[in-house]
Amino acid sequence: MTDQEFEVLDELYFVISFKELMRNLSWTEVELLPVLKSLLLKELVKCIDPESEEEIERSAIELEKRYQKILFLATKKGLMEHNSREV
């Protein structure tokens, strides 16, 4: 896990929007989006539809198109990896 991935996971213990995540980390979209993609591919993060509050299937995420309209949350796997990393 990279330092950037660790920092993002640190913010994802609770459901959070992309804008809040950007603000909390003081990162730009260009910095944050690739890290979120990496975490999604590793199944360390999941996406939540804000209207239904249901998890969005990984195959239907379309992150590049919807990242500003969905919510993010660490998965159980993501939390375990985050907590087991030695700082």
pLDDT in tens, 25-84: 999 999 999 999 899 999 999 999 898 888 887 665 677 777 888 899 999 999 999 989
CB atoms within 10 A of CB 5: 20
pLDDT of residue 23: 97
Q: Which domain holds residue 70?
A: 3-84
Q: Give residue 7's Cα distance to chain centre.
A: 10
Q: How many domains does the chain have?
A: 1
* Amino acid 6: pLDDT: 95
Whichever domain contains 34, its CATH number is 1.10.10.10
| Angstrom distance (rounded) from CA 84 to CA 86 | 6
Tell me, what DSSP letter sits at residue 87?
-
Q: Determine the pLDDT at residue 28.
A: 95
pLDDT at 87: 58
Greatest C-alpha distance within the chain: 37
For residue 86, what pLDDT is reported? 65
Provide the angle, in degrees to the nearest 10, between the axes of the packed helices 3-11 and 29-41.
90
